[in-house]
């Protein structure tokens, strides 16, 4: 009994000493494996990237990330990517890369973090302007004294500024025009919606649109066991406008929030309350048929009423998953121009 007790005390002392040393020298214990799967649509092995990130080998992880992007686009021979190449990167793989960087940096690095910085500076993801690119470069310290840094001058440490890594978007992807951040953050965020829209899978695109706005669900204090309802009025205009541009583009101008807005404003007499004209609007866009009419699932948008999509933003969990907020379209912030 005494021997076991002594061994236990010695073990606790060693643990305490290791913890003290870790605090003194900034050494962090290894993070547990992430709960998400390292899935790939292109049969990419993400274990090497995961290992590099686990060991805080940030520069090697950055270079591994770029090699993966080249492989995903079959551009290994060329050694660089253009905007069109980025637009074709596999959605599943980009999400895996983004999750790994976000997880192992505790939210400091990753494409999503770079997206937040880009938009906070007044930029629109997917749209490159030299002014926003320079502001972004200054913010994440890819620039110094008004000049872009060379790759070897970047900061590959956990103390680098937020959004500083991965820097493949600032060197490898963007080349001479520094267009990488705008392009790759757009692809990462909207790839699910874009891929569905590009193949005319309208109902799938509708569901992917709903998923984009998960951040704007507000939990109900008195019913914590029920998934939070989506609060339409809290969705920022920039988020709605980004989705609207995609729906309008891929439907040839037949679907989108802006298309619905024009129909809604043109319905009935202007002297009537908008709420009173809403049923006429629903008939015009074909919403009474939407829950059961699976003929709208895929195909020529000309066979579907103008303004029909997006529709499922009105989905509500308020009645245990079977509810639907019929008048959700009236809840959009009027300042958004829809």
Q: Looking at mean pLDDT, say which of 12-21, 49-58, 290-299 comes out highest.
A: 49-58
More confident residue, 83 or 26: 83
Give the domain ranges of the chain. Answer: 46-184, 200-219+227-336
Share of residues in the chain with pLDDT > 90 (%): 55
Instruction: Judge whether residue 98 has pLDDT over 80.
Output: yes
Share of residues in the chain with pLDDT > 70 (%): 79
Instruction: Judge whether residue 301 has pLDDT over 60.
Output: yes
**CA torsion 90→155→130→337, rounded to 10°?**
60
Per-residue model confidence (pLDDT) at position 293: 53
Residue 100, token pair as written in the block: 């790994």
Measured distance CA(28)–CA(90) in Å, rounded: 33
The whole-number average pLDDT for the span 278-299 is 75
Per-residue model confidence (pLDDT) at position 79: 84
Per-residue model confidence (pLDDT) at position 4: 47
Per-residue model confidence (pLDDT) at position 268: 64
HSE-CB of 278 using CA atoms within 13 angstroms: 11
Question: Model confidence at 317, in pLDDT bands (50, 70, 90)?
Answer: low
Per-residue model confidence (pLDDT) at position 220: 62
Measured distance CA(182)–CA(174) in Å, rounded: 9
pLDDT tens digits, 145-184: 998 888 889 999 999 999 999 997 665 555 444 568 899 9
Per-residue model confidence (pLDDT) at position 215: 82
Q: Is the CB of residue 157 less than 8 Å from the CB of residue 176?
A: no
Instruction: Judge whether residue 204 has pLDDT over 50.
Output: yes
For all residues of the chain together, what is the average pLDDT? 84
Distances (CA, A) of 36 to 28, 115, 224, 256: 22, 21, 24, 32
The H-or-E segment that residue 249 falls in is helix 237-250
Q: Residue 75 in 3-state DSSP? A: coil
Q: Is the CB of residue 325 less than 8 Å from the CB of residue 316?
A: yes
Residue 9, token pair as written in the block: 């005390």
Measured distance CA(310)–CA(329) in Å, rounded: 10
pLDDT tens digits, 49-65: 999 999 999 999 999 99
Per-residue model confidence (pLDDT) at position 15: 47
How many C-beta atoms surround the C-beta of residue 137 within 10 A?
19
pTM for the whole thing? Answer: 0.82
Q: For the residues of 121-188, what is the DSSP string, one character each? A: TT-BTTB--HHHHHHHHHHHTSEETTEEPPGGGS--STTSPTT---GGGTTTTTTTS--HHHHHHHHH
Q: Is the CB of residue 307 less than 8 Å from the CB of residue 244?
A: no
């Amino acid at each position: 009994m005494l021997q076991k007790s002594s061994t236990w005390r010695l073990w606790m002392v060693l643990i305490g000493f290791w913890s003290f040393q870790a605090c003194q020298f900034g050494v962090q214990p290894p993070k547990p494996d992430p709960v998400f799967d390292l899935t790939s649509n292109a049969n990419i092995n993400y274990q090497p990237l995961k290992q590099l990130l686990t060991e805080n080998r940030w520069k090697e992880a950055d270079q591994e990330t770029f090699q993966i992007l080249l492989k995903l686009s079959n551009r290994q021979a060329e050694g660089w990517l253009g905007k069109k190449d980025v637009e074709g990167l596999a959605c599943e793989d980009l999400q895996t890369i983004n999750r790994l960087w976000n997880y192992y940096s505790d939210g400091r690095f990753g494409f999503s973090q770079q997206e937040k910085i880009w938009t906070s500076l007044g930029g629109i993801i997917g749209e490159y302007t030299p002014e926003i690119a320079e502001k972004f470069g200054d913010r994440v310290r890819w620039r110094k004294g008004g000049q872009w840094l060379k790759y070897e001058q970047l900061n590959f440490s956990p103390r680098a500024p937020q959004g500083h890594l991965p820097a493949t978007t600032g060197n490898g992807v963007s080349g001479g025009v520094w267009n990488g951040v705008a392009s790759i953050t757009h692809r990462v965020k909207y790839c699910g919606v874009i891929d569905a829209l590009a193949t005319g899978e309208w109902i799938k695109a509708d569901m992917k649109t709903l998923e984009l706005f998960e951040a704007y669900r507000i939990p109900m204090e008195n019913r914590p066991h029920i998934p939070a309802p989506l609060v339409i009025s809290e969705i920022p205009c920039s988020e709605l406008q980004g989705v609207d541009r995609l729906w309008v583009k891929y439907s040839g101008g037949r679907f989108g929030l802006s298309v619905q807005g024009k129909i809604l404003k043109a319905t009935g007499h202007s002297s009537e309350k908008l709420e009173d004209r809403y049923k006429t609007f629903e008939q015009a866009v074909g919403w009474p048929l939407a829950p059961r009419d699976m003929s709208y699932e895929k195909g020529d948008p000309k066979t579907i009423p103008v303004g029909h999509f997006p529709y499922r933003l009105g989905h509500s969990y308020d009645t245990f998953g079977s509810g639907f907020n019929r008048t959700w379209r009236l809840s959009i912030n009027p300042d958004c121009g829809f």
